[in-house]
Amino acid sequence: MNLVSTAIGYPYIGDNREWKRCVESFWKDAISEEKFILEMKASRLNNLKRQQSLGLEILTVGDFTFYDRMLDLATMFGLVPARYEWTGKEVDLTTYYAMARGANHVVACEMTKWFNTNYHYIVPEYEGKPLKLTKNYILDYFVEAKEELGLITKPTIIGPFTFVQLAKGYDAKSKALFILKLLPLYAQVFQQLVDAGAQWIQVEEPALVLSLTADDVKLVQEIYKQLAEEVPAAQIMLQTYFEGLSAYEELSQLPVAGIGLDFVHGEEENMASLRKHGFPKDKVLGIGMVNGRDIWRANLAEKAMNTQAVLLLSGVKEAWIQSSCSLQHVPVTTKSETKLDATLTNALSFADEKIVELTQVTSYVRDEAWPGNKSVSQSMLATEALAQHKVRKNARVKELVSQVKPEHFTRPIAFKERQALQKEALHLPDYPTTTIGSFPQSDLVKRTRTAWRKKEITDSAYAEFVKSETARWIKIQDEIGLDVLVHGEFERTDMVEYFGEKLRGFAFTEKAWVVSYGSRCVKPPIIYGDVEWTAPMTVKEVEEAQQLTSKYVKGMLTGPVTILNWSFVRDDISREQVANQIALALREEIQALEDAGIAIIQVDEPALREGLPLRKENWAEYLSWAVNAFKLATSSVKNETQIHTHMCYCEFNDFIEPIRALDADVISIETSRSHGELIQSLKQNPYELGIGLGVYDIHSPRVPSVEEIDTILKDSLEIISKEQFWVNPDCGLKTRHEEETIASLKNMVAATKKLRQQQQQTV
């Protein structure tokens, strides 16, 4: 039997986010385009050399990007919206980054979640124009590796069905036509790769794990039939991940040379499909056995045994032992971590370590011998040592969880009654203006925090700096004319990390970065023990800010499900149990805020949707416990206390009911990049609670005009009553510069005042 090791993809950001620094330097004109291109090339080649040194046998190219791989494909195929005034030649970096981030004269493309991960992709926009291959960048990467390193790599590309499924600008009737226009371009890419010497082409089709209609299945069959006819020499590895392959009986027979299946997140379904239908004997099976989405060390003996079971069940002659999905969803290496608890460190596995695990499992299954005498026993001992750690034996947490009752998941009275009480208590104007929470984290803020963390300044000096910066922004907000203020979150590095640092059961890394979107990298906390609240986490800063103004200052918390979904989570108990532990900790924090006199408390849940199972028929169980976790955290407040929440960048059309079930008094949601779509959705399914439709895109450096915001406000009034309507940006402002933030907020307030005046004139 021929067995080889490979990974679907590898992190491109570098050990210490070198990729991010290079990209952002280019944006600031600190380096030339020529130097930028050279540094990107060096990064790609270094990534390949590193994987080769770790023993990986088939290396992948095309997993690298200058911003986002869906955007790469859109520009490669000429899907450039008319507003960018593209000339039709190769898409230059100015146009590319304008599509990603917006520019002074044009808004960015929409951005949303990549399946159920915390990565955001740029949504391609199809406007019906002729498509063409502008530049085969995947060919360039393949040739680069061949000429520079002497490697015959496996080029990877997002497949046509997934690409179209995640794009916008077409309806059900024109979907097939859109794909038919794309197929000759895919065929052209494949043929050029074959001519250059590519032995395999990995085509990523994660959309094939979604719920597929009969028409979808026929369309996929037609796609791969045409590609096989057009490029018969192309050996395609059809790669699926995140769940089991849908319509397995039909799709396993596609005319491709191999099919990759996820035996981690899709283990149960894929194994059942193998038992029932077998696997085509003429195909290579990609066995996704090492988890590409968590950071826990694999039990090598278990992985080897499971791999042997798959091989026996499938009866294949050739297989790839691989990651369950791209390793871009995990940090690069544990070698950068020097300060973690030794028991925890020993139980971790990042991208490099997962590659070693792949090579070890492959070696054992192929040669019936482990490389190294202690690799198996060490993996088992590491897992068992963490299981017995005292951080997982917290008696107080277990007692609190045991006391939870059904009434802890419900506010005492209904929203309409609360709304009347809150209106009387708060005395807010029509269309209250506010922001989501954070304000720009300037270089001075970052430098001061770094100096504090390095103990170059004292705790008291740092606290005084944060207090001063907070006071400055309270004054700015008052001068702008916002109605409900925030303290700015200058003490916080990250909306999850900050809380994890103050709760028991969390650990924090030094350089375990992953990409969230574009160049935005996050360092997710590790929830490795029982989560416990020990002291107030946010009261001091909010209380100090409230003393500086007569207006309300919101308490700002991150919700339990977002903390869960934006962390690497222990795998020895259910995610529901972990979410409830976090919710109980936040419940105590909310009580502390109320005791301090804070009347408006925002509990953000931007990641609620991304935890959904990919198939709608499996949503109910997750939503039941996820919504309950939010309500467990928030239901203990007084009726007069107003609970806000926030969500961003997800498809809301099919998610209104869960949002309603949260029973938050006010929700603010992203709508600047997809305003029209949400308006139509809310027309069909009205929302009765308080709502703020984000009126401008904070991920773009451009300043929206008063007229632009005024149009969004008027459109929103078609479906939201003034009693419900809040006005706010679509997300936090920490990544923006001070000047553009102030200018944008001034325009937002001006547009709101204009609306109020118009309303008064019509009364």
Which residue ranges are tagged as binding site for Zn(2+)? 646, 648, 670, 731
Separation between Cα atoms, residue 294 and residue 471, nearest integer Å? 40
Separation between Cα atoms, residue 350 and residue 514, nearest integer Å? 11
Separation between Cα atoms, residue 454 and residue 437, nearest integer Å? 27
Closest to 663 (Cα-Cα) out of 694, 695, 639: 639
The values of phi and psi at residue 688, to 5°, are -95, -20
Q: Looking at this protein, which amino acid is placed at residue 210?
A: L
Q: Which residue has the tokens 């596609």?
A: 254
Separation between Cα atoms, residue 564 and residue 668, nearest integer Å? 20
CB 632 within 8 A of CB 580: yes
Cβ neighbours of 2 (radius 10 Å):
10
Closest to 278 (Cα-Cα) out of 308, 252, 304, 255: 252
CB 9 within 8 A of CB 156: yes
Separation between Cα atoms, residue 585 and residue 588, nearest integer Å? 5
CB 487 within 8 A of CB 553: yes
Q: Which two tokens stand for residue 583?
A: 């919710």
CB 241 within 8 A of CB 288: yes
Q: Point out the catalytic residue in the list 120, 265, 675, 699.
A: 699
Separation between Cα atoms, residue 282 and residue 368, nearest integer Å? 25
Q: Which residue has the tokens 């498809």?
A: 651
Strand 526-533 to strand 503-507: parallel, antiparallel, or no bridges (unpaired)?
antiparallel
Listed in sequence order, the DSSP H helices in 612-737 are 619-634, 656-661, 675-684, 706-716
Instruction: Give the DSSP H/E element, type plus range, for residue 236.
Output: strand 236-239
Q: Where is the binding site, in residues?
A: 17-20, 113, 436-438, 489, 520-521, 566, 604, 610, 646, 648, 670, 731
Separation between Cα atoms, residue 395 and residue 178, nearest integer Å? 58
Separation between Cα atoms, residue 41 and residue 32, nearest integer Å? 14
DSSP code of 407?
G
Q: Where is the binding site for L-homocysteine, in residues?
A: 436-438, 489, 604
CB 59 within 8 A of CB 102: no
Angle formed by the axes of helices 18-27 and 33-53, to 10°?
A: 170
Q: Is the dihedral of CA 727, 730, 734, 740 positive or negative?
A: negative
Closest to 349 (Cα-Cα) out of 564, 155, 202, 568: 568
- Determine whether 644 is an active site residue: no
Q: Where is the binding site for L-methionine, in residues?
A: 436-438, 489, 604
Greatest Cα-to-Cα distance within the chain, rounded to the nearest angstrom: 83
Chain centre distance of CA 271: 28
Give the residue numbers marked as catalytic: 699
